[in-house]
Structure 1
Amino acid sequence: MSFRPLPFPRRRSGRRILGVPALLTALLLAMLAVLVGTAPARADDRVRVELTSITPAVTAATDTVTISGIVTNTGDTPLTGVQAYLWRDQQVRTTRAELATTDGPVGARWVTRYAILGTDPSGTLAPGQQSTFIVSAPWSALGIPARDGVTMIGVQIRGSYGEGNTTLGRARAWLPQDLGPQTTPVRLASVVLLASTPSRVAAGTFLDDHLAHEIAPGGRLDLLLRSAAGSGRSYLVDPALILSLQEMAAGYELTDGSAGAGEGDAKAWLATFDTLPTSGYRLPYGVADIDLLAGIDHADIVQSALDPAELPADVAELPTAVLPADGLLTRRGLATLATPTAGAGPSAGSSPTASPSATPGKPPIVLTARPAEGSGTTRSAAPSYWTTAERAPVVTYDPQAFAAGPDAGGSDAQQRQSLAAVDQLDALAGRPVQVRLITDVATAHADDLDTSATRVSLSSLTEGSSAPISDALLQAPPSDEDDQTRDVRRAATSTTGLASMFTDPGVAADRTWRATAILASTQWTGAAATPLSPAPDPTAASEAYVAYRNLQRDRVWQITGGDAVAISARPVLLTARQDTQFPVTVTNNLPVPVSVRLEFESENAERLHVPSVDIRTIGAGEAIAVGAVPRVEANGNYTVVARLTTPAGTVIGVPEEIDVQATQAGRVGWILMIVSGIVVIGTTVLRIKQVRTERSHA
């Protein structure tokens, strides 16, 4: 089959994988962009301008605007007559859409005052030399229209590099205006996403060690955990992440046989996680894509992924939340969140006694992306949350909350002004709250810069004003299936009924619905590119996804069509007693105990019948002899097919044809002849010895 490199066109967001080198590079670039500022704003600039302070953050009519910063000569020519001027564009923006129109520069510098830069009165800057500056002006003198909104200010650096006085560089930032009566500020709900690309493939076994890098001091998940611990913040956590870290803390290995390196950091991360405030929510296991699963008619897997059974205690009792792929909510995806009705059947791959419908809970809160202005929305006051027929409250987060300012990826001061501008325009639009989704190092740092906001918890939003969900918030599902959807459909179908064969509920979940939920994860392609973060590496994402898909596919095939659990028999002449048994050996080649049923199908059931035998437990790597008592009604030669099924009735393994000779009707004389004969016996014995030897060395 063909496999398009991720990200899939219909799913562009989530916390997705980068290769380890690419991950470290991406994080470094993101931090440098936010913490240090960018290179010169224009290719022909001779200096780099970093704004270090802009006061006030929101100006009133009587204020004096002051900008401080640092100028660096980035060329190889001395600069003379270097001066810093305050600049403004004299346009007031009143909508979020207008913040995107930052091409320029436009406007004019305020020439009444300026700052001379350099180490002498002539304003000379040698190559590589830096100089600080402060420029200021009364707002009333800048000629900016007197109305509430956002204007653009900045500095221009003028001077000469031997060809006359010219603009050497510039830096710009937003300046909100609140001229009165004072606008009611919006409340802020910052939500930190604690999730990562899937890598756990079985208990204590991982595809790669990228999680060790993410939880190490200074790693992405380490910094996000610190952000989640901040005052007034809420968090969303993937239960699959917690389960993975608990197994890492106990010691783990990679699929290539090497030992993992994150045991100590996993213990430290979990210890900090346990101290987080109670403002957290657990996501569906693996952050499964609810729309994808709805599209293949597997709402049961969504319900399993939300079920607290068998989850680590750290997260099992947290309330639930759902984050749709790309933040795009569909009507069919929303329908998967309806509380199962009493008497609903078991979920796909589950045992009849382990249905999530047995423990219905409170519907999850749904976080969906807020439509941009002009997408069918109005500027009337929005509710705190939206109500649905599924009883799941919907809260909209702002995907452009961290939109870059006029100079993309500017300094902390510029980023702080961008946040203030967004807040001001939301307040003017009558929005009661802004919800920010914190997904990476860059957005976590930017959110930390906003120290003046009134922070509220995510849970408090569902206690405010509400309205029925608007059609503008619901997206149309994709019209065709992509490769991920087809993979998930196959996985869901092939694992149906397998859960009942595993005696350990955790193993049963790993081998069935958990594996399917992970394939349906929104976390496979790394972080979506944002103004503050670089784009992920789609090649690395594709390789990780394909490796996981192929491994799980092979494991299922070994059970359903291979020799994970195998039948063998030896030729034997049975006596003619009425209690003569039908001897078969069943070998479990899996590393976990299983429970199966041995069934026999005769070509002539009226003359020869062999009853099924339930085998409650076969240990890992063990073989047991099974005896069935046949019933013969007539002499003759017959073919009996022996096959294995799960207790739920799903056929597994490779069936065996057995030739049977029956003599003396009512009294039995049997000769079982199997194609493999003595070779099968020797192979079975050898395999049992190998498995026991491997386990003794483990």
Structure 2
Amino acid sequence: MSSRALHGLARQQPTPRRRRPRFRLVVEFLLAFVLVALGSLGPLGSAPPAHADETPPSPVSIHVQSLVPELPGRDDTVTIRAVASNDSDQPITQAQAVFWRSRPGMRSLSDLRDTVGSPPRDVSGAQIWTEGAYQSLTTNNQSPTWQPGEIRTFEVRAPVDSLGFPDAAGVYLVGAQVVGRLGGAPLGTQGQTRLLLPLAAEDAPVNAVPAAPANTVISAVILSSRPSMTEPGVFVDDHLAEELQPTGRLAQLLAAARRPEVSWLVDPALIEELTAMADGYVVRSANGEAPGAGQLAAREWLVEFDRLDTGRGFRVPFAVPDASMLQRADLAEVMTRADAAAGRLSDIAQLPLIAWSNDGIVDEAGIALEEEAEPRAILTSSPLASPALLEPLGTAPLINYTAATTAGGPEPGPSSQAHVRQRMLAESFLISLSEPGATTVRVIDTAEAAAADGGPDPSWTVRRTLPDLLQTRPAAWSGELAYAEPHRENELTEPRVEVLREVATNYQAYLRMLVDPEPASRTMDAALARSASSWWRVDQAGFDTYADPQVAAVDRLWSGQAITVTAQPSVLMSGQSGSFPMTVTNRLDQAVSLRLTFESFQPQRLSIPDMELEVGANQSVTVNVQPLAAANGPVRISAWATSPDGTAVSKRVWMTVEATDLGRVGWIIVIASGIVLLAATALRIRQVRHERRRAFDDHPARRPARAITEPPPPETAPEPEPRRRQTQPRGDER
């Protein structure tokens, strides 16, 4: 049931039933029956186009559950079981499911491809209104109206001999249509589905082709999925958990790989992601982070994978990069990193390499890039070549297959397992008619293809493996690959290529600045290979979701958040040389080698040489910076950290460094002042000593004795006055 149908059901209220006379209902039904039947009674009348009343998109979608028998005989009855959904926003009344067929047969692969590729309106056919070939989906009493969003199951059948097919062997179109009244519109076809029906000639046994020898069919199961892990244990979504469920895509592919005579190719990126899931993982999105739901399923899948027969096993390039896009964008080093990522998974790396891009889409330039890894062969899908094993364009042979074989069809969809199964049988049948003994390769990469390929093999085919094919002689061919304009349009758009180029360039610079790059290289090689995956050809919006965390990680590296430089805004130098401190902080979980780079606005006056340093994980280092000044005055300086190759990894810091000679004059003044102080002190000490010596000499006890003589006469000898001692004040003199 589609979302459109559910939406329509939510908006549409049940329409009240209007009572009309019973005879009028009967007349209207019979009139509608006659009008439709007159133009579509198979061999009794002309076959107007089945699309006449259909306008895309169809209001009703039909999902075929089975077609039985898959390879009918001329005496068998073909039964189609299906589920129909009202995808419109209006109710449908008088709905009938009816068997449909187209009588022109297909006799070659080109006929089949033309028919499958043509719009449904271009294919003429007829409805079969015999007993059992139609079924009412609405009834007048119990369910007169088919509401939007509601589903109806039905079964229609018709004998092969009533379909009017020619006696010759060929492939024919059968299917079912739904007719009814949409809203108040006239009775018309509201939806249809078509399937391919191989049919042997009138006189041939059932499930047999008279041509011999038998065809060889080689099935190669691709174990790969859209990338999701951005770093170990961190995923952008949980789609792998769904694919690992018993009915999921990867579970079905693994079951197909276990079958005998089936080869398998594994993507190392898938094994790495499932191993991380088995150890416990989280899903990180814009809404936050939540535990993943696929841990147990991943463990069980890996256990079963280890039991596969490695003799039938190969590996594809890590994350299956888009080789053609990478070569055209001059990003060949991404392929080298993908090879390095695969080499680290030792168990998987031992498997032989077969190069492959999603859907086998690759051109000559892409093949040249893939050959650099020396693959055993290159798996390609080219309608311009028919043999299974082709001579190499360079060094590796090409294994050719038709990608559309597992796409099912024809339109309108959806293509179910029944469509894919009938497509496989139809192509194999026509090859047996036109090229007896030919070898065809089927690449199985969907759940529908895995189930369809597991059905009983027809009598005209035998099974072989890829190792068997690689032992045969490659066939000569034109060397021209069908890499058409639509394939180029499906490559990543130019803005997305620029994102990929930026991530690759910055990762490279980041690894070069790590002291030990190996741990980070493991993560970055894998993330870069996943970013270039060919899976994004069919999901470019998915590329944006996956690449956003990579871009955010790169932005953190180069935006100045991971590495910072700090310093004083102003530095005064007392002379032509000196030093001042700067601090570099590393907030990364790995030690880095950096270069501290300086830029002077006036390098002729002052310059600072670059410095090399290592900073440990989540650590800071302080270094002494030594400027060289040739003149006095302030100079504006900027500084930042770079990787060893010169890529800036931090923001600039700005400072003013001023050189001056005042420091020399100051020292001269200090020295001169010291000399003056010493001299003054010495003079004062000398003066004090001199004064003390004089006072000592004038003391009476130190005067010299006179010669003994006669005293003078009394009348002439005056009385001597006492000598007063002269003293000077001491004060603070020094």
TM-score band w.r.t. shorter chain = 0.5 to 0.7
Whether 1:488 and 2:488 are equivalent positions in the alignment is no
TM-score by length of 1: 0.65
One-letter code of the match for 1:282? R
1:174 is aligned to 2:197: yes
- Compared CA separation, residues 78 and 581, structure 1 to 2 (3 A): closer
- Alpha-carbon contact 2:381-2:400 (below 8 Å) kept: yes
CA shift for structure 1 position 423:
0.3
**Aligned with 1:201: secondary structure?**
strand
| 8 Å Cα contact 1:291/1:333 also seen in 2 | yes
CA distance in 1, matches of 2:605, 2:535: 56
* Amino acid corresponding to residue 215 of structure 1 in structure 2: L
Unaligned 5+ runs, structure 1: 1-20, 26-39, 119-125, 157-168, 340-360, 372-376, 527-537, 670-698
Residue in structure 2 matched with residue 505 of structure 1 by the alignment: 518
Task: Note closer, same or farther for the CA distance 1:214–1:94 as it changes in structure 2 (3 Å cut).
Answer: closer
Shift of 1:574: 10
Q: 1:586 maps to which residue?
A: 584
Cα distance change on mapping 1:593 and 1:107 into 2, 3 Å = same
Amino acid at match of 2:544: V
The CA distance in 1 between the partners of 2:65 and 2:245, in whole Å, is: 31
Closer, same or farther: CA 398–285 of 1 in aligned 2, 3 Å: same
Matches for 1:418-429 after TM superposition, within 5 Å:
418-429=423-434
Determine if the alignment matches structure 1 residue 456 to structure 2 residue 464: yes
CA distance 1:444–1:633, shift in 2 (3 Å): same
Letter matched to residue 200 of structure 2:
Q
Q: Does 1:399 align with 2:431?
A: no
Structure 2 residue corresponding to 1:214, chosen from 226, 243, 260: 243
Aligned-pair distance for 1:643?
2.3
> 1:238·1:284 contact (CA, 8 Å) conserved in 2?
yes
Query: Which residue number corresponds to residue 95 of structure 1?
Result: 109
CA-to-aligned-CA distance 1:386-421 (integer Å, 9 cap, x gap): 334431322222122133369966887776444222
Corresponding residue number in structure 2 for 1:689: none
TM-score by length of 2: 0.62
Could you tell me which residue of structure 2 aligns to residue 246 of structure 1? Answer: 275
CA distance, structure 1, for counterparts of residue 227 and residue 319 of structure 2? 7
In the aligned structure 1, how far is the partner of 2:536 from the partner of 2:443? 18
1:383 to 378, 387, 391: 387
**Cα distance change, pair 655–218 in 1 and its aligned pair in 2 (3 A):** same
Q: Return the index of the structure with the highest Cα Rg.
A: 2
2:261 is the counterpart of 1:232: yes
Give me the identity figure in percent: 26
Distance 1:550 1:153 in 2: 47
- Taking the aligned partners of 1:129 and 1:292, their CA distance within structure 2 comes to 45
Matches within 5 A, 1:678-693: none
Distance 2:82 2:661 in 1: 105
Question: In the superposition, relative to structure 1, how do residues 65 and 610 fare at CA in structure 2: closer, same or farther (>3 Å)?
Answer: same
Look up the SS of the partner of 2:344 in the other structure. Answer: coil
| 1:446/1:261 CA distance change after superposition, 3 Å | same
Match of 2:691 in 1: none
What does residue 470 of structure 1 align with?
479
Correspondence for 1:368 among 374, 377, 380:
380
Aligned to 2:685: none
Query: Residue in 1 aligned with 2:680?
Result: none
Match of 1:275 in 2: 307
Aligned to 2:220: 191
Secondary structure of the 1:286 match is: coil
Q: Give 1:610's aligned residue.
A: 609
Which runs of 5 or more structure 2 residues have no equivalent in the other structure? Answer: 7-49, 85-91, 136-141, 144-151, 178-191, 667-734
Structure 1 residue identity aligned to 2:470 = T
Question: For residues 397 and 577 of structure 1, do their structure 2 counterparts lie closer, same or farther at Cα, with a shift above 3 Å needed?
Answer: farther
Say which of 313, 333, 337 aligns to 1:300. Answer: 333
Which letter does structure 2 place at the counterpart of 1:175? P
Give the aligned partner of residue 201 of structure 1: 230
Pair 1:521 & 2:533 matched: yes
Q: Does 1:547 align with 2:570?
A: no
Aligned partner of 2:77 in structure 1 is: 67
Q: CA deviation at 1:202?
A: 1.9
Distance 1:633-1:197 versus aligned 2 partners, 3 A rule: same
Provide, for residues 146-193 of structure 1, a one-character-per-residue CA deviation record: whole Å limited to 9, x for no partner: 4x543567999xxxxxxxxxxxx9997513437575233322222223
Paired residues of 1:53 and 1:413 also in contact (CA < 8 A): no
Report the residue type matching 1:229 in the other structure. R
Q: Any idea what the Cα deviations from partners look like across 1:580-632, whole Å, max 9, x if unmatched? A: 765322212234443433334455379644342231x521x332334456666
Residue-by-residue CA offset, 1:362-387 (whole Å, 9 max, x unaligned): 2363322232xxxxx48xxx433233
Letter in 2 for 1:195: S
Asked if the contact 1:153–1:175 (Cα under 8 Å) also holds between the matched residues in 2, the reply is: no
- The letter of the residue matching 2:352 is P
Do residues 291 (structure 1) and 334 (structure 2) align? Answer: no
Cα distance in 2 for residues equivalent to 1:257 and 1:383: 50
Deviation at 1:244, TM superposition (A): 2.0
Q: What is the distance in 2 between the residues matched to 1:471 and 1:129?
A: 47
Aligned CA distance change for structure 1 residues 338 and 399 (closer, same or farther; 3 Å): closer
Question: Which residue number in structure 2 is paired with residue 564 of structure 1?
Answer: 562
Determine the structure 1 residue equivalent to 2:621.
624
Paired positions, count: 553
Q: Does the 8 Å contact 1:500/1:508 carry over to 2? A: no
- For 2:574 and 2:467, the matched residues in 1 are separated by 74
Sort the Cα spacing of 1:254 and 1:186 in 2 relative to 1 into closer, same or farther, 3 A. Answer: same
Report SS of the residue matched to 1:287.
Answer: coil
CA distance in 1, matches of 2:555, 2:100: 69
Task: Write the deviation string for residues 294-348 of structure 1: whole angstroms up to 9, x where unpaired.
Answer: 1211112122223356632342233333333553322222232342xxxxxxxxx
Tell me, yes or no, if the aligned pair for 2:640 and 2:651 is still in contact at 8 Å. yes
For the structure 1 residues 563 and 460, does the alpha-carbon distance in structure 2 shift closer, same or farther, using more than 3 Å as the test? same
Given that 1:601 and 1:610 are in contact with CA atoms closer than 8 Å, whether structure 2 keeps it comes out as no
Which residue of structure 2 lines up, in the alignment, with residue 695 of structure 1? none
Query: Which structure is higher in RCO with an 8 Å CA cutoff and minimum separation 6?
Result: 1
Give the corresponding residue for 1:160: none
1:405-420 → structure 2 map (5 Å cutoff): 416-420=421-425
Residues 549-570 of structure 1, C-alpha deviation per residue, up to 9 Å, x if partnerless? 3332232122223221111235
Q: Supply the distance in 2 between the matched residues of 1:552 and 1:411 (Cα, whole angstroms).
A: 37
CA distance in 2, matches of 1:577, 1:666: 7
Per the alignment, residue 437 of structure 1 pairs with: 443
Please state which structure has a larger fraction of its residues in helix: 2
RMSD between aligned alpha carbons? 5.1
